[in-house]
Amino acid sequence: MRGSALLACALGALCTLSCAGLRFQEKRFGLEPDLAAARALTPGVSSLADCLAALGAPHEVEKDESLGGGRVLSWKWEAFGGWGFFFSLPLSDWWSPSLNYDAAKRRPRHLHLIFDERWVLREAVLE
């Protein structure tokens, strides 16, 4: 019993002198396009005007020679989030050991609309 009381006092003193905590963070970069509107687009039928009206301006437009002069419009967004903890023990004015851990995960997403040379949708790819 005496050992557990001593351990409890030592842990209490350590917690009083140190800084520790848990954190949850979530960040988002870019705007996710309306994926329901993207699914409603019809390959072979939907035009560039239809796609832009449904989804807005893309982040990137690329020419793809393998498509015979077609173009690829891309929308990009990313979610980043997860839990973590930190611990710091100030021992002096110039030395303070610390430990940080994050289990955060990046989740980049892309929507590519592939058009033929006449600007008719050939394929929509969600990554």
Q: Please tell me the pTM assigned to this model.
A: 0.65
Number of Cβ atoms within 10 Å of the Cβ of 100: 10
Distance from C-alpha of 49 to C-alpha of 99, rounded to nearest angstrom: 53
Q: What share of the chain is helix, strand, coil (3-state, %, to 5)?
A: 25, 45, 30
pLDDT of 1 reads 56
Structural contact between residues 73 and 113, judged by C-beta atoms closer than 8 angstroms: yes
Q: How confident is the model at residue 13 (pLDDT cuts 50, 70, 90)?
A: low
What average pLDDT score do residues 96-118 get? 88
pLDDT above 90 covers a percentage of the chain that reads 43
Is the predicted pLDDT of residue 8 greater than 90, yes or no?
A: no
Number of Cβ atoms within 10 Å of the Cβ of 24: 9
Structural contact between residues 115 and 121, judged by C-beta atoms closer than 8 angstroms: yes
What average pLDDT score do residues 36-48 get? 95
Structural contact between residues 84 and 98, judged by C-beta atoms closer than 8 angstroms: no
Q: Does residue 17 or residue 127 have the better pLDDT?
A: 127
What average pLDDT score do residues 46-72 get? 90
Is the predicted pLDDT of residue 84 greater than 80, yes or no?
A: yes
What average pLDDT score do residues 88-98 get? 82
